[in-house]
Amino acid sequence: MDSALIPKGVKRCPLWQFALFIGAVSAVLGWGVYAMLLCWFKGLNQTNMNDYYGFALWIWADLAVIAIGGGAFFTGLLKYIFGKDDLKNIINYAVLIGFICYSSALLILAIDIGQPLRGWFIFWHANVHSMLTEVAFCLTCYFGVLTIEYIPLILENRQIDRVPFFHHLSHNMHEIMAVFAATGAFLSFFHQGSLGGVAGVLFGRPFAFREGLLVWPWTFFLFTWSAAACGPCFTILVTKITEAVTRKKLVKDNAIELLAKISGWMILTYIIAKTIDTWYWAKVLAPSKGLTMMDFYSNNPLYGIWILITEIVICGFVPAFILITKKGRKNSLALWIAVTLAVVGVCLNRWVMVLQVLAIPVMTFDIWAMYFPSWQEIATTILPVAYGIILIALSYRYLPVFPNEAELNPLEPLPVEDQEPSELLGDQERELIPAEA
Protein backbone atom coordinates (compact mmCIF):
# COMPACT_ATOMS: atom_id res chain seq x y z
CA MET A 1 0.00 0.00 0.00
CA ASP A 2 2.86 2.35 0.81
CA SER A 3 5.20 0.97 -1.84
CA ALA A 4 5.24 4.25 -3.75
CA LEU A 5 7.03 5.84 -0.81
CA ILE A 6 9.70 3.20 -0.40
CA PRO A 7 13.11 3.89 -1.96
CA LYS A 8 13.92 2.13 -5.20
CA GLY A 9 15.84 -1.09 -5.28
CA VAL A 10 15.32 -2.05 -1.67
CA LYS A 11 13.00 -4.47 0.06
CA ARG A 12 10.87 -3.66 3.09
CA CYS A 13 8.60 -5.77 5.24
CA PRO A 14 4.85 -5.79 4.54
CA LEU A 15 2.92 -2.78 5.78
CA TRP A 16 0.89 -4.77 8.33
CA GLN A 17 4.08 -6.05 9.92
CA PHE A 18 5.52 -2.55 10.02
CA ALA A 19 2.27 -1.16 11.46
CA LEU A 20 2.25 -3.83 14.15
CA PHE A 21 5.81 -2.95 15.15
CA ILE A 22 5.08 0.78 15.22
CA GLY A 23 1.92 0.08 17.23
CA ALA A 24 3.84 -1.86 19.88
CA VAL A 25 6.49 0.84 20.24
CA SER A 26 3.77 3.52 20.24
CA ALA A 27 2.22 1.85 23.28
CA VAL A 28 5.49 2.44 25.15
CA LEU A 29 5.58 5.96 23.75
CA GLY A 30 2.04 6.52 25.04
CA TRP A 31 3.09 5.38 28.50
CA GLY A 32 5.90 7.91 28.45
CA VAL A 33 3.63 10.67 27.19
CA TYR A 34 1.16 9.92 30.01
CA ALA A 35 3.95 10.21 32.57
CA MET A 36 5.14 13.41 30.91
CA LEU A 37 1.67 14.94 31.15
CA LEU A 38 1.47 13.95 34.81
CA CYS A 39 4.73 15.79 35.44
CA TRP A 40 3.55 18.85 33.56
CA PHE A 41 0.12 19.08 35.12
CA LYS A 42 0.82 17.81 38.64
CA GLY A 43 4.40 19.01 38.97
CA LEU A 44 7.72 17.46 39.83
CA ASN A 45 6.28 15.90 42.97
CA GLN A 46 5.59 13.01 40.60
CA THR A 47 9.29 12.22 40.72
CA ASN A 48 11.48 10.85 43.49
CA MET A 49 13.77 13.83 43.32
CA ASN A 50 14.24 15.81 46.51
CA ASP A 51 16.15 18.76 47.90
CA TYR A 52 19.38 16.75 47.99
CA TYR A 53 18.75 15.26 44.58
CA GLY A 54 17.68 18.27 42.56
CA PHE A 55 19.35 16.77 39.49
CA ALA A 56 18.58 13.12 38.87
CA LEU A 57 17.71 10.56 36.20
CA TRP A 58 16.55 13.12 33.64
CA ILE A 59 19.64 15.26 33.74
CA TRP A 60 21.73 12.11 33.46
CA ALA A 61 19.64 11.01 30.45
CA ASP A 62 20.07 14.46 29.00
CA LEU A 63 23.83 14.44 29.32
CA ALA A 64 24.04 10.84 28.15
CA VAL A 65 21.99 11.28 24.95
CA ILE A 66 23.92 14.41 24.09
CA ALA A 67 27.21 12.57 24.57
CA ILE A 68 26.23 9.56 22.49
CA GLY A 69 24.57 11.85 19.96
CA GLY A 70 27.99 13.40 19.46
CA GLY A 71 28.52 10.98 16.59
CA ALA A 72 26.61 13.37 14.37
CA PHE A 73 28.89 16.36 14.72
CA PHE A 74 32.09 14.35 14.79
CA THR A 75 31.24 12.21 11.77
CA GLY A 76 30.14 15.35 9.93
CA LEU A 77 33.42 17.02 10.84
CA LEU A 78 35.41 14.05 9.55
CA LYS A 79 33.41 13.75 6.35
CA TYR A 80 32.90 17.36 5.30
CA ILE A 81 35.88 19.15 6.85
CA PHE A 82 38.60 16.49 7.00
CA GLY A 83 37.45 14.87 3.76
CA LYS A 84 37.00 11.30 5.01
CA ASP A 85 34.80 10.40 2.07
CA ASP A 86 34.27 6.78 3.09
CA LEU A 87 32.00 8.08 5.82
CA LYS A 88 29.42 9.27 3.30
CA ASN A 89 27.77 5.86 3.69
CA ILE A 90 27.09 6.34 7.36
CA ILE A 91 26.72 10.12 7.65
CA ASN A 92 22.94 10.07 7.03
CA TYR A 93 22.41 7.66 9.86
CA ALA A 94 24.76 9.59 12.14
CA VAL A 95 22.71 12.74 11.48
CA LEU A 96 19.44 10.91 12.12
CA ILE A 97 20.72 9.48 15.41
CA GLY A 98 22.02 12.90 16.40
CA PHE A 99 18.67 14.48 15.54
CA ILE A 100 16.87 11.96 17.74
CA CYS A 101 19.31 12.41 20.61
CA TYR A 102 19.15 16.19 20.59
CA SER A 103 15.39 16.47 20.18
CA SER A 104 15.10 14.01 23.07
CA ALA A 105 17.44 16.11 25.17
CA LEU A 106 15.33 19.22 24.59
CA LEU A 107 12.15 17.34 25.44
CA ILE A 108 13.64 15.98 28.66
CA LEU A 109 14.75 19.48 29.64
CA ALA A 110 11.24 20.76 29.03
CA ILE A 111 9.89 18.13 31.43
CA ASP A 112 12.64 18.62 33.97
CA ILE A 113 12.10 22.29 34.79
CA GLY A 114 9.72 23.20 37.56
CA GLN A 115 8.01 25.97 35.59
CA PRO A 116 7.96 24.75 31.96
CA LEU A 117 6.06 27.82 30.77
CA ARG A 118 8.98 29.95 31.88
CA GLY A 119 11.52 27.91 29.97
CA TRP A 120 12.22 30.83 27.66
CA PHE A 121 13.62 32.85 30.58
CA ILE A 122 16.91 31.08 30.00
CA PHE A 123 17.20 32.99 26.72
CA TRP A 124 15.49 36.19 27.75
CA HIS A 125 17.13 36.71 31.14
CA ALA A 126 20.36 34.93 30.23
CA ASN A 127 23.13 34.94 32.83
CA VAL A 128 26.37 34.95 30.89
CA HIS A 129 28.25 33.49 33.86
CA SER A 130 26.15 30.31 33.88
CA MET A 131 27.28 27.21 32.04
CA LEU A 132 23.64 26.24 31.70
CA THR A 133 23.01 29.35 29.63
CA GLU A 134 25.78 28.32 27.26
CA VAL A 135 24.27 24.85 27.11
CA ALA A 136 20.81 26.21 26.26
CA PHE A 137 21.99 28.51 23.48
CA CYS A 138 24.41 26.09 21.83
CA LEU A 139 22.08 23.12 22.21
CA THR A 140 19.16 24.93 20.62
CA CYS A 141 21.28 26.29 17.78
CA TYR A 142 22.84 22.91 17.14
CA PHE A 143 19.43 21.26 17.07
CA GLY A 144 18.58 23.75 14.33
CA VAL A 145 21.70 22.69 12.45
CA LEU A 146 20.78 19.02 12.82
CA THR A 147 17.31 19.76 11.49
CA ILE A 148 18.88 21.44 8.47
CA GLU A 149 21.10 18.41 8.01
CA TYR A 150 18.16 16.02 8.29
CA ILE A 151 15.88 17.92 5.88
CA PRO A 152 17.73 16.92 2.64
CA LEU A 153 17.28 13.29 3.62
CA ILE A 154 13.53 13.78 3.99
CA LEU A 155 13.44 15.55 0.64
CA GLU A 156 15.03 12.51 -0.93
CA ASN A 157 11.92 10.48 -0.30
CA ARG A 158 10.89 9.06 -3.65
CA GLN A 159 7.68 11.02 -3.95
CA ILE A 160 8.93 14.30 -2.52
CA ASP A 161 11.97 14.14 -4.76
CA ARG A 162 9.68 14.12 -7.81
CA VAL A 163 8.74 17.71 -7.10
CA PRO A 164 11.42 19.72 -8.91
CA PHE A 165 11.62 22.41 -6.23
CA PHE A 166 12.32 19.90 -3.47
CA HIS A 167 14.70 17.98 -5.67
CA HIS A 168 16.79 21.08 -6.32
CA LEU A 169 16.50 22.27 -2.73
CA SER A 170 17.83 18.96 -1.50
CA HIS A 171 20.65 19.03 -4.04
CA ASN A 172 21.65 22.56 -3.13
CA MET A 173 21.52 21.83 0.58
CA HIS A 174 23.89 18.94 0.04
CA GLU A 175 26.22 21.28 -1.80
CA ILE A 176 26.58 23.60 1.19
CA MET A 177 26.47 20.93 3.87
CA ALA A 178 30.13 21.52 4.75
CA VAL A 179 29.11 24.93 6.13
CA PHE A 180 26.55 23.34 8.42
CA ALA A 181 28.95 20.58 9.42
CA ALA A 182 31.50 23.20 10.46
CA THR A 183 28.84 25.19 12.31
CA GLY A 184 27.65 22.01 14.00
CA ALA A 185 31.16 21.11 15.11
CA PHE A 186 31.70 24.61 16.50
CA LEU A 187 28.41 24.60 18.41
CA SER A 188 28.95 21.06 19.62
CA PHE A 189 32.35 21.91 20.99
CA PHE A 190 30.71 24.52 23.19
CA HIS A 191 27.57 22.73 24.28
CA GLN A 192 29.30 19.42 24.95
CA GLY A 193 31.94 21.35 26.81
CA SER A 194 29.56 23.52 28.75
CA LEU A 195 27.70 20.41 29.90
CA GLY A 196 31.01 19.34 31.38
CA GLY A 197 31.37 22.82 32.78
CA VAL A 198 27.99 22.49 34.51
CA ALA A 199 29.58 20.07 36.96
CA GLY A 200 33.15 21.37 36.82
CA VAL A 201 32.34 24.90 38.02
CA LEU A 202 30.60 23.71 41.19
CA PHE A 203 33.27 24.87 43.61
CA GLY A 204 30.97 24.00 46.49
CA ARG A 205 31.09 20.35 45.38
CA PRO A 206 34.66 19.10 45.63
CA PHE A 207 33.85 15.85 43.82
CA ALA A 208 32.89 17.73 40.67
CA PHE A 209 35.01 20.86 40.87
CA ARG A 210 37.99 21.18 38.56
CA GLU A 211 40.40 23.94 37.74
CA GLY A 212 40.88 24.71 34.09
CA LEU A 213 41.73 27.08 31.32
CA LEU A 214 40.29 30.63 31.44
CA VAL A 215 36.62 30.28 32.39
CA TRP A 216 36.40 26.61 31.44
CA PRO A 217 37.15 23.81 33.89
CA TRP A 218 38.96 20.72 32.61
CA THR A 219 35.63 18.85 32.56
CA PHE A 220 34.63 21.19 29.73
CA PHE A 221 37.30 19.73 27.47
CA LEU A 222 36.89 16.18 28.74
CA PHE A 223 33.18 16.19 27.95
CA THR A 224 33.74 17.42 24.39
CA TRP A 225 36.52 14.93 23.88
CA SER A 226 34.55 11.99 25.27
CA ALA A 227 31.50 12.85 23.16
CA ALA A 228 33.61 13.01 20.02
CA ALA A 229 35.25 9.72 21.01
CA CYS A 230 32.21 7.72 22.10
CA GLY A 231 29.47 9.31 19.96
CA PRO A 232 30.66 7.50 16.82
CA CYS A 233 30.63 4.24 18.81
CA PHE A 234 26.93 4.77 19.43
CA THR A 235 26.42 5.42 15.72
CA ILE A 236 28.18 2.13 14.97
CA LEU A 237 26.25 0.33 17.70
CA VAL A 238 22.87 1.52 16.41
CA THR A 239 23.91 0.66 12.84
CA LYS A 240 24.84 -2.85 13.96
CA ILE A 241 21.54 -3.21 15.84
CA THR A 242 19.64 -2.01 12.76
CA GLU A 243 21.53 -4.52 10.61
CA ALA A 244 20.68 -7.28 13.07
CA VAL A 245 16.99 -6.34 13.18
CA THR A 246 16.65 -5.96 9.40
CA ARG A 247 18.95 -8.95 8.75
CA LYS A 248 20.76 -6.93 6.10
CA LYS A 249 24.15 -5.43 5.64
CA LEU A 250 23.51 -1.72 5.37
CA VAL A 251 26.89 -0.03 5.59
CA LYS A 252 30.12 -1.15 3.97
CA ASP A 253 32.84 -2.36 6.28
CA ASN A 254 35.30 0.32 5.21
CA ALA A 255 33.05 3.07 6.65
CA ILE A 256 32.49 1.23 9.92
CA GLU A 257 36.15 0.36 10.29
CA LEU A 258 37.35 3.87 9.56
CA LEU A 259 34.94 5.34 12.10
CA ALA A 260 35.88 2.66 14.63
CA LYS A 261 39.58 3.33 14.15
CA ILE A 262 39.26 7.09 14.63
CA SER A 263 36.95 6.51 17.58
CA GLY A 264 39.47 4.10 19.12
CA TRP A 265 42.28 6.62 19.03
CA MET A 266 39.99 9.33 20.36
CA ILE A 267 38.93 7.08 23.26
CA LEU A 268 42.53 6.20 24.04
CA THR A 269 43.68 9.82 24.14
CA TYR A 270 40.56 10.82 26.07
CA ILE A 271 40.96 8.13 28.69
CA ILE A 272 44.63 9.04 29.19
CA ALA A 273 43.56 12.66 29.73
CA LYS A 274 40.78 11.50 32.06
CA THR A 275 43.26 9.42 34.05
CA ILE A 276 45.59 12.40 34.45
CA ASP A 277 42.65 14.58 35.47
CA THR A 278 41.51 12.00 38.03
CA TRP A 279 45.03 11.62 39.40
CA TYR A 280 45.49 15.38 39.80
CA TRP A 281 42.08 15.71 41.39
CA ALA A 282 42.76 12.86 43.84
CA LYS A 283 46.28 13.93 44.73
CA VAL A 284 46.10 17.72 44.68
CA LEU A 285 42.65 19.23 44.31
CA ALA A 286 40.55 17.17 46.73
CA PRO A 287 43.24 17.14 49.47
CA SER A 288 43.42 20.94 49.23
CA LYS A 289 39.79 20.92 50.40
CA GLY A 290 40.56 18.51 53.22
CA LEU A 291 39.27 15.38 51.47
CA THR A 292 40.84 12.16 50.30
CA MET A 293 39.75 10.32 47.17
CA MET A 294 38.25 7.49 49.20
CA ASP A 295 35.97 9.94 51.03
CA PHE A 296 34.02 10.03 47.77
CA TYR A 297 33.87 6.27 47.34
CA SER A 298 33.11 4.84 50.77
CA ASN A 299 30.50 4.65 53.52
CA ASN A 300 27.59 4.24 51.11
CA PRO A 301 25.78 1.28 49.56
CA LEU A 302 26.41 2.10 45.88
CA TYR A 303 29.25 4.43 45.00
CA GLY A 304 32.36 2.33 45.55
CA ILE A 305 35.73 2.54 43.83
CA TRP A 306 34.39 -0.06 41.38
CA ILE A 307 32.62 2.73 39.53
CA LEU A 308 35.90 4.52 38.76
CA ILE A 309 37.64 1.30 37.67
CA THR A 310 34.69 0.37 35.46
CA GLU A 311 34.64 3.78 33.82
CA ILE A 312 38.35 4.16 33.18
CA VAL A 313 39.63 0.62 32.69
CA ILE A 314 36.77 -1.59 31.54
CA CYS A 315 34.85 1.01 29.56
CA GLY A 316 37.85 3.14 28.62
CA PHE A 317 41.14 1.41 27.98
CA VAL A 318 39.56 -1.92 26.92
CA PRO A 319 37.43 -0.55 24.04
CA ALA A 320 40.24 1.80 23.04
CA PHE A 321 42.72 -1.06 22.65
CA ILE A 322 40.20 -3.16 20.73
CA LEU A 323 39.37 -0.36 18.31
CA ILE A 324 42.90 0.80 17.57
CA THR A 325 43.92 -2.67 16.44
CA LYS A 326 42.99 -3.86 12.96
CA LYS A 327 42.27 -7.33 14.28
CA GLY A 328 39.89 -5.95 16.89
CA ARG A 329 37.98 -3.81 14.42
CA LYS A 330 37.61 -6.63 11.92
CA ASN A 331 36.35 -9.13 14.48
CA SER A 332 32.59 -8.67 14.64
CA LEU A 333 32.20 -9.77 18.27
CA ALA A 334 35.12 -7.66 19.45
CA LEU A 335 33.69 -4.65 17.62
CA TRP A 336 30.30 -5.19 19.25
CA ILE A 337 31.91 -5.44 22.69
CA ALA A 338 34.12 -2.39 22.15
CA VAL A 339 31.41 -0.02 20.95
CA THR A 340 29.03 -1.21 23.67
CA LEU A 341 31.64 -0.68 26.39
CA ALA A 342 32.50 2.76 25.05
CA VAL A 343 28.83 3.80 25.11
CA VAL A 344 28.36 2.39 28.61
CA GLY A 345 31.53 4.18 29.70
CA VAL A 346 30.49 7.62 28.56
CA CYS A 347 27.00 7.15 30.04
CA LEU A 348 28.58 6.04 33.33
CA ASN A 349 30.78 9.13 33.31
CA ARG A 350 27.71 11.33 32.94
CA TRP A 351 25.97 9.44 35.73
CA VAL A 352 28.89 10.00 38.05
CA MET A 353 29.15 13.68 37.16
CA VAL A 354 25.47 14.24 37.93
CA LEU A 355 24.22 11.79 40.51
CA GLN A 356 27.29 10.90 42.50
CA VAL A 357 28.10 14.59 42.82
CA LEU A 358 24.83 15.13 44.64
CA ALA A 359 24.96 11.93 46.68
CA ILE A 360 28.21 12.84 48.41
CA PRO A 361 27.95 14.78 51.69
CA VAL A 362 30.12 17.88 51.80
CA MET A 363 29.47 19.10 55.35
CA THR A 364 31.17 16.76 57.80
CA PHE A 365 27.94 16.13 59.68
CA ASP A 366 25.85 15.51 56.58
CA ILE A 367 24.90 12.13 55.17
CA TRP A 368 25.07 10.29 51.84
CA ALA A 369 21.84 10.68 49.91
CA MET A 370 20.55 7.75 47.88
CA TYR A 371 17.86 7.95 45.24
CA PHE A 372 15.77 5.67 43.06
CA PRO A 373 13.62 7.18 40.30
CA SER A 374 9.82 7.01 40.31
CA TRP A 375 7.96 5.20 37.53
CA GLN A 376 7.10 8.56 36.02
CA GLU A 377 10.78 9.40 35.72
CA ILE A 378 11.56 6.01 34.21
CA ALA A 379 8.65 6.24 31.74
CA THR A 380 9.63 9.72 30.60
CA THR A 381 13.22 8.54 30.16
CA ILE A 382 12.09 5.59 28.05
CA LEU A 383 9.83 7.91 26.04
CA PRO A 384 12.69 9.28 23.89
CA VAL A 385 13.91 5.74 23.27
CA ALA A 386 10.50 4.78 21.87
CA TYR A 387 10.37 8.01 19.89
CA GLY A 388 13.83 7.30 18.50
CA ILE A 389 12.90 3.77 17.44
CA ILE A 390 9.81 5.06 15.65
CA LEU A 391 11.72 7.81 13.85
CA ILE A 392 14.44 5.37 12.82
CA ALA A 393 11.85 2.86 11.59
CA LEU A 394 10.00 5.50 9.56
CA SER A 395 13.22 6.94 8.15
CA TYR A 396 14.59 3.52 7.28
CA ARG A 397 11.38 2.51 5.55
CA TYR A 398 10.75 5.63 3.53
CA LEU A 399 14.06 7.45 3.14
CA PRO A 400 17.33 6.47 1.50
CA VAL A 401 19.22 6.47 4.80
CA PHE A 402 21.80 3.93 3.69
CA PRO A 403 23.18 4.77 0.23
CA ASN A 404 24.81 1.32 -0.07
CA GLU A 405 21.77 -0.71 0.85
CA ALA A 406 20.63 -1.54 -2.69
CA GLU A 407 24.16 -2.41 -3.73
CA LEU A 408 24.80 -4.57 -0.70
CA ASN A 409 21.42 -6.29 -0.89
CA PRO A 410 20.58 -6.78 -4.57
CA LEU A 411 17.00 -7.84 -5.18
CA GLU A 412 16.62 -11.14 -6.98
CA PRO A 413 15.16 -10.39 -10.43
CA LEU A 414 11.73 -11.95 -10.93
CA PRO A 415 10.99 -14.11 -14.00
CA VAL A 416 9.64 -11.94 -16.83
CA GLU A 417 6.14 -13.45 -16.67
CA ASP A 418 5.87 -12.56 -12.94
CA GLN A 419 6.99 -8.98 -13.32
CA GLU A 420 4.64 -6.08 -12.84
CA PRO A 421 4.07 -3.94 -15.97
CA SER A 422 6.02 -1.11 -14.30
CA GLU A 423 9.17 -3.24 -14.12
CA LEU A 424 9.10 -3.79 -17.87
CA LEU A 425 9.05 -0.11 -18.60
CA GLY A 426 12.02 2.16 -19.17
CA ASP A 427 13.39 4.31 -16.34
CA GLN A 428 11.66 7.47 -17.49
CA GLU A 429 8.27 5.81 -17.76
CA ARG A 430 8.73 3.94 -14.49
CA GLU A 431 9.09 7.20 -12.59
CA LEU A 432 5.40 7.83 -13.09
CA ILE A 433 4.20 4.51 -11.75
CA PRO A 434 4.45 3.63 -8.07
CA ALA A 435 6.93 0.80 -7.61
CA GLU A 436 6.28 -2.36 -5.68
CA ALA A 437 8.69 -3.17 -2.90
Partner 1 sequence: MGKEQKGPKTKRFGMVIDLDKCTGCGSCMVACMAENNVPFRKDESNKFLSLTWLRIYKLTNGKPFPDTDICYLPRPCMHCEGHGGHSPCVSVCPAVATDYSDETGIVSQIYTRCFGCRYCMASCPYHARYFNWWDPVWPDGMEKYLSPNVSPRMRGVVEKCSFCYHRYQLAKERIFIEGRSEVEEDEYQTSCAQACPARAITFGDLNNPKHAVYKKKKSPNGFRLLERLGTNPKIYYVSSREWVRRAGDNYLKGEGKLKESVQHG
- Min dist. Cβ of residue 137 to partner 1 (A): 10
The only residue of 179, 276, 367, 414 in contact with partner 1, by rule CB under 8 A: 367
Q: Of 85, 175, 366, 436, which lies in the binding site for partner 1, with binding defined by CB under 8 A?
A: 366
Question: Which positions from 291 through 330 interact with partner 1, judged by CB under 8 A?
Answer: 291-292, 295
Amino acid identity at 280: Y
Instruction: Name, in order, each residue with C-beta under 8 angstroms of 53's C-beta and a sequence gap of 6 or more.
Output: 355, 358, 359, 369, 371
DSSP 61-81: HHHHHHHHTTHHHHHHIIIII
Helices (H), 43-120: 57-68, 71-76, 88-112
CA gap 315, 383 in Å, rounded: 26
Q: Does 51 bind partner 1 (CB under 8 A)?
A: yes
C-beta of 130 vs 278, nearer to partner 1: 130
Give dist(CA 202, CA 114) in Å, integer: 21
Min CB(125)–partner 1 separation in Å: 4
55 binds partner 1 (CB under 8 A): yes
User: Does 45 engage in binding with partner 1 (CB under 8 A)?
Assistant: yes
- Interface region with partner 1, contact rule CB under 8 A, candidates 130-138, 142-150, 152-160, 263-271: 130-138
CB of 186 to partner 1, least distance (A): 21
Q: What mask of x and - would describe binding to partner 1 in positions 85 to 124, judged by CB under 8 A?
A: ---------------------------xxxxx-xx-xx-x
Q: Is 126 in the site for partner 1 (CB under 8 A)?
A: yes
Residue 212 pairs in a beta bridge with 217
Binders of partner 1 among 194-233, rule CB under 8 A?
198, 201-206
CA distances in angstroms from 191 to 183, 198, 224, 295, 356, listed in the order given:
12, 10, 8, 31, 22
Stretch that binds partner 1, among 167-175, 312-320, 360-368, 421-429 (CB under 8 A): 360-368
| Phi (first) and psi of residue 373, to 5 degrees | -65, 155
DSSP, collapsed to helix, strand or coil, labels residue 379 as helix
- Cβ 228 to partner 1 shortest distance, Å: 25
50 near partner 1 (CB under 8 A): yes
User: Total binding residues for partner 1 by CB under 8 A?
Assistant: 52
Query: CA dist 383 to 9, 11, 24, 36, 352, Å?
Result: 33, 29, 13, 9, 23
Q: How far is the CB of 131 from partner 1 (least distance, A)?
A: 7
132 binds partner 1 (CB under 8 A): yes
| Cα–Cα separations (whole angstroms), residue 90 to 254, 334, 387 | 10, 20, 21
Applying CB under 8 A, does 363 fall inside the site for partner 1?
yes
375 binds partner 1 (CB under 8 A): no
Q: Quick one: CA torsion of 153, 158, 164, 167, rounded to 10 degrees?
A: 20
Q: Is 357 in the site for partner 1 (CB under 8 A)?
A: yes
Helix axes 15-42, 375-398, angle to 10 degrees: 150
Residue with smaller CB distance to partner 1, 206 or 403? 206
Give contact residues for partner 1 (rule: CB under 8 A): 43-45, 49-55, 112-116, 118-119, 121-122, 124-127, 129-133, 136, 198, 201-206, 287-292, 295, 357-358, 362-367, 369
